[in-house]
Amino acid sequence: MKKPVYKRIVLKLSGEALQGEQSHGIDQKFLNSLAKQIKEIKDMGVEVAIVLGGGNIFRGLENTQNKGLDMDRSVADYMGMLATVINGLALQDALEKLGAPTRVMTAIEMQRVAEPYIRRRAIRHLEKGRVVIFVAGTGNPYFTTDTAAALRAMEINADVILKATKVEGVFSSDPLKNKHAKKFSHLRYIDLLKKGLKVMDATAVSLCMDNKLPIIVFSLNRPENIKRVILGEKIGTLVN
């Protein structure tokens, strides 16, 4: 039987992933499927940390720039951070119904619903076999949850960031709009920055580059893909 090639991972999930086939909110069917996949790799001995976005509920930058809300960017970003907390609690509930002990750790303190993020405590939870869900981004406006994923991965000494998306990896252009878009199996960090490929924001990529933390971008559309990546199969795009 194959063994995992990674001991400790950060799984980055967008808020849009949680909405499944819906136009907004949380798709319970998809949430349950995701929880099963996460529990499966946890049961293989992998220490799993998760960073969630909040775009299925509210996205600060998009709502202020593209939807014309007359709102200060900082206020909108804090609202987006709170949306990630909602997603984190939903995923925690789904995981614990499967018997996977889970802790939600938030960068913005809210003692009634989640633990405050403390690096040493997060590492201890992982060592004890608990799934740790990091919410509220970095706790600061103007930083994305991609940057939060890179930051938390560095802090907990993760082996890799697994960036789950709706497409099979990194492409030369949007494959949903251009059927001739070329898929890359391997890229360097600098390639992402120079080509302007919108996989992760530049701050997150730079953090990973400075600390030599690999990123694997893969599709979440196939239920077995998280396990396949963990077992070292060559799917998606490796950035290092």
| 147 in a structural domain | yes
**pTM for this predicted structure:** 0.94
Can you give the residue range of the structural domain that contains 69?
Answer: 8-239
State the Cα torsion 161-154-34-1 to the nearest 10°.
70
Specify the CATH number for the domain of residue 41.
3.40.1160.10
Domain count along the chain? 1
C-alpha 162/C-alpha 10 separation (Å) is: 6
Q: How many CA atoms lie within 13 A of 26 on its CB side?
A: 20
| 3 in a structural domain | no
Task: Provide block-wise average pLDDT over 10 residues at a time, the chain (240 residues).
Answer: 93 90 90 96 97 88 64 90 96 98 97 96 98 97 95 98 90 81 91 85 93 94 92 93
The conformational region for residue 142 under phi > 0 = left, psi -120 to 50 = alpha, else beta, is left
- Find out whether 235 and 229 touch, Cβ atoms under 8 Å: yes
User: Tokens in use for 186?
Assistant: 């391997």
| 1 in a structural domain | no
